[in-house]
Structure 1
Amino acid sequence: MTKQLKFAVVLLLTVASMNANAQTKAPAKATKPATESKSSKPSKQETMDWIAGKMKENLGPYRTFVSYSDGKFVYKKPYERETNFCTTTIDLNKITGMNSEYSDDFYVTGKGCMSTICDNETKASSYQTFSMSGSNYNDYSAPFNFTPDQILVERLKKAVTTLIEYNGSKKEEGEAF
């Protein structure tokens, strides 16, 4: 019985000391879920590439993707019985604004962000606004078909907002405003 009593006392002391140690230790920090580990903002190039990929997937009818490189998305569409084509370039580097949050239209703006040149023309037409989605009340050029997928439209708005931050004018050193 003495051996069992000694064992019980040692076991009791061990449990008591473990309990005391557990109470004095600082609580362990909660770990973040794996989904939140990548909270960094995507680069400008990653943002433009993602937007261009979605633009390519959702080109409107009669439009054909031509190329995408360094923020310049190019597509063409036929005119005059499909014997001539107009080639449109959207420069994502020039997008500096978009519709207000209260607008049903989703359009983007930027000086010269879109240009179109048609066969047999020598000068391209430049535009400062084009529609991405929505009812397009102002009859902007609307080359994409995003409207049916409103979840994608919301993701595009976030991506365009990020792109606008990258493309926005930076305050020069010494400028007051």
Structure 2
Amino acid sequence: MKRFLMAAVCLLALPLMASELVAWPGGKPQRTEALREPVQVINLWATWCAPCRKEMPAMSAWYAKQPKGKVALVGIALDNEENIERFLKTTPVRYPVWRYTGNDSRAFMKTLGNEIGGLPFTVVAIKGCGHRERITGEADGQKLDAAVKKLQAQCRA
């Protein structure tokens, strides 16, 4: 019962938190629910996080190899605009970057299943399937492929 209540609270909190997501650059409001692709990857990162900075080129290369229209990969920065701009000038990525603008990044991370609040943190989901794969720590193409493959098997079952 406790788990059900926690899940319900997290699901109810997600739309509220989603209003605190904006596209970078530009600041246009974003929502994770608006992602249309069947495979959805959400990566939480910050410029001060060394493993985050290290994983981003590998994630960008992985994303570039995915069939168009099949995978959505969004990097959500838990950082300020100046740091994001400075970092992405030296480490460009091929996927969209959003910025969390709220005041409680811990609560936001928990809505995605990150109970410990560590970065980097990646969630892989398949639209219409109730399962999620979480990667705490540095992600790369091999880990992302394994997460997608595991989810595809679970979703077929």
The structure having more radius of gyration, on CA atoms, is: 1
More helix by share: 2
More strand by share: 1
Give the TM-score, by structure 2 length: 0.37
Point out which structure has higher relative CO (alpha carbons under 8 A, 6+ apart).
Answer: 2
Give the TM-score, by structure 1 length: 0.34
